[in-house]
Amino acid sequence: MEQPVKVLVVDDSRTIRALIRRSFEQYPQIVICGEAANPIEARDLIIKDQPDVITLDVEMPGMNGLQFLEKIMRLRPIPVVMVSALTARGAETAITALQMGAFDCFPKPVSVMGTDAFAGLARLVIQAAHSCPGARAGASQAVSASVVPHGPERNWARAFELVAIGSSTGGVEALEQVLSGFPRQSPPIVICQHMPALFTASFSNRLNQKITALSIAEGKDGEVLNHGDVRIAPGGERHMVVERRDGHYMTRLLSAPPVNGHCPSVDMLFDSVAEAVGREALGVILTGMGQDGAEGLLAMRRAGAQTIAQDKASSVVYGMPRVAAEIGAAEHIVPLSQIAMAAMAMRAH
């Protein structure tokens, strides 16, 4: 029988801790080994109870969640799920936490009334317990190295008309590493990264400041895509797709139900690229939970596009790329550190 996942809940609000505890009660595979109101209490409980996963509030008295996260990652790496307010400030903090090594961020609901306020947190915690911490540490180190300026810009061996990328858990570091390897005159790049609203705006801004060779922003409805543009699907209630009009590719934001439980959905993006761009596209699927994007990547491959999936060893969560590989959607299985190079080295079939 599989061992239960031991979770330490850290939040200065007694109400929030109670709601999280209640949301975990229906999952027999989760055991709350301790609760702490601040990082000082949490430190002692980590030593005493040896938790498998920590849920960590961002804003706490004495030492905030980011300061405590930095100490955890440096002294005793444990999968950490950050619980962050759905505000602009909370989104900035969440992206920082992910870059520092947090497994994922769960948006704290505006209203905590109701028993389902933290529905979905248990699934993240269970997945975090089975994640690959070595992959995340390796990605962080590689990202740091990749943003250091290097020799003359490499060129794309093939002039793809568009590159489509899908990612989820672990995607913050993975996307930064991949994009850092691309030169200024890259094909237009469209990305669907599973994130709540507000988070994608913060993430896009950070990438744009860090990766100066590319123009990175959230996607807008009806925007024409040019070389060097990177557009990330906004989190929220609309899907981002690609259309071809008057010889140009453009992004469209469509209101539609979630696909594979996600809005925006990688499958929706990839399906649109398969139809609009066909064999002149490149599809890449990166680390993430679930299977969103696998069928869309298969559609791209059947349309003649070339496709890449991240390998298991470098994935924080080998879910989306695993399914893509299993159904034959991925033409190439590539470690994260080599994806940018492999993409640029590809030639026509």
pLDDT digits (tens, 9 = 90+) for 299-328: 999 999 999 999 999 999 999 999 999 999
Q: How far apart are the first and last CA of the chain?
A: 48
Angstrom distance (rounded) from CA 131 to CA 317 = 6
What per-residue string of b and e applies to 74-88 under the rule 16 or more CB within 10 Å gives b? eeeebbbbbbbbeee
Percent of the chain with pLDDT over 90: 70
101: alpha, beta or left? (left if phi > 0; alpha if psi -120 to 50): left
Active site residue 292: yes
- pLDDT tier at 156 (50, 70, 90 boundaries)? very high
Q: Domains of the chain: which residue ranges?
A: 5-130, 142-345
Long-range contacts, stretch 41-48, CB < 8 angstroms, 24+ apart: 41/10, 42/8, 42/10, 42/68, 45/8, 46/8, 46/72, 46/76, 46/78
Q: Pick the most confident of 6-10, 100-104, 144-148.
A: 6-10
Written as six digits, the tokens of 188 are 């237009």
Q: Any idea which residue has 């061992």 for tokens?
A: 3
Query: One of 11, 84, 131, 194 is an active-site residue; which one?
Result: 194
Query: One of 168, 186, 204, 314 is an active-site residue; which one?
Result: 168
- Average pLDDT for 251-273: 96
Among 235, 316, 309, smallest CA distance to 270 is for 309
Cβ–Cβ < 8 Å for 51, 9? no
- Sheet containing 248-255, strands listed edge to edge, beginning at the edge strand earlier in sequence: 223-224, 248-255, 238-245
Statement: residue 258 has pLDDT above 60: yes
Lowest-pLDDT range of 61-70, 160-169, 213-222: 61-70
Query: One of 292, 311, 315, 337 is an active-site residue; which one?
Result: 292
Whether 5-130 and 142-345 share one fold: the answer is yes
Cβ–Cβ < 8 Å for 225, 190? yes
Domain 142-345, what architecture? 3-Layer(aba) Sandwich (3.40)
Q: What is the pLDDT of residue 75?
A: 82
- Sheet containing 30-36, strands listed edge to edge, beginning at the edge strand earlier in sequence: 30-36, 5-10, 53-57, 80-85, 104-108
- pLDDT tier at 90 (50, 70, 90 boundaries)? confident
Active site residue 168: yes
Domain 5-130, what architecture? 3-Layer(aba) Sandwich (3.40)
CA distances from 250 to 74, 108, 241 (A): 43, 34, 8
Secondary structure (3-state) at 87: coil
Lowest-pLDDT range of 50-54, 70-74, 288-292: 70-74
Number of Cβ atoms within 10 Å of the Cβ of 9: 27
pLDDT tens digits, one per residue of 92-124 = 888 899 988 899 988 887 666 555 778 889 999
Cβ–Cβ < 8 Å for 136, 316? yes
Q: Which residue has the higher pLDDT, 247 or 293?
A: 293
Secondary structure (3-state) at 19: helix
